[in-house]
Amino acid sequence: MPRLFLIFALVVLVSFQACYYDNEEELYPNITCNTDNIKYSSDINAILTARCLSCHNAASASSIGAGINLEGYNNLKVWIDNNRFMGAIRHSAGFSPMPKGGSKLPDCELKKIESWANAGFPNN
Ligand code: HEC
């Protein structure tokens, strides 16, 4: 009998542990990542501020940002129009993968940018 109890306890323990690997984004990818109606002024600007502008703002661009200023829509648009922006964040061949020194943007952030790109990169 005690052996059976041990096995039971082990099964319970293992199934509880499995719960720790569940996370909302993996369980409900479409619920937590809203790619509708993406706006430059809120969504895109927030992603760039968090991930890119530390190197690519007006002040830092000349020292650590390779002279690339992505601050504000008009500056960003230059790098969209010359096709370097999407290639860099998609980590496409032939581009410097961005953010530099970090891993690729989280899936949901990339999806938001792709959705904004599909809408024609509006200044909204
Ligand atoms: C730690 C500083 C740093 C961060 C953070 C950073 N960059 Fe860069 N970025 C650079 C440097 C330096 C270069 C010049 C190329 C190189 O050194 O790889 C560059 C190059 C680029 C280029 C030109 C790429 C090409 O292949 O022509 C683009 C576009 C760009 N960055 C966009 C971004 C975006 C968008 C983000 C945020 C998702 C970002 N960068 C985050 C430093 C940074």
52 residue type, one letter: C
How many residues comprise the chain?
A: 124
Atom of ligand 1 nearest to the CA of 52: 37
Give the pLDDT confidence score for residue 32 in this predicted structure.
82
59 residue type, one letter: A
pLDDT band of 27, cuts 50, 70, 90: low
Q: Which residue has the tokens 């909204």?
A: 124
Residue 92 near residue 99, CB atoms below 8 Å: no
Give the pLDDT confidence score for residue 67 in this predicted structure.
98
Residues 52-63 have a mean pLDDT of 97
Q: How far does the centroid of ligand 1 lie from the alpha carbon of residue 99, in Å?
A: 6
Domain map of the chain by residue range?
Answer: 36-118
Give the pLDDT confidence score for residue 55 in this predicted structure.
98
pTM assigned to the model: 0.81
d(CA 28, CA 113): 20
Tell me which of 52, 100, 112 to substitute to probe ligand 1's pocket, judged by most ligand atoms within 8 Å of the beta carbon. 100
Q: Which residue has the tokens 């690997």?
A: 21
Contacts of residue 41, defined as CB under 8 A and 6 or more positions apart, other chains included, come to 124
Tell me which of 47, 57, 68 to substitute to probe ligand 1's pocket, judged by most ligand atoms within 8 Å of the beta carbon. 68
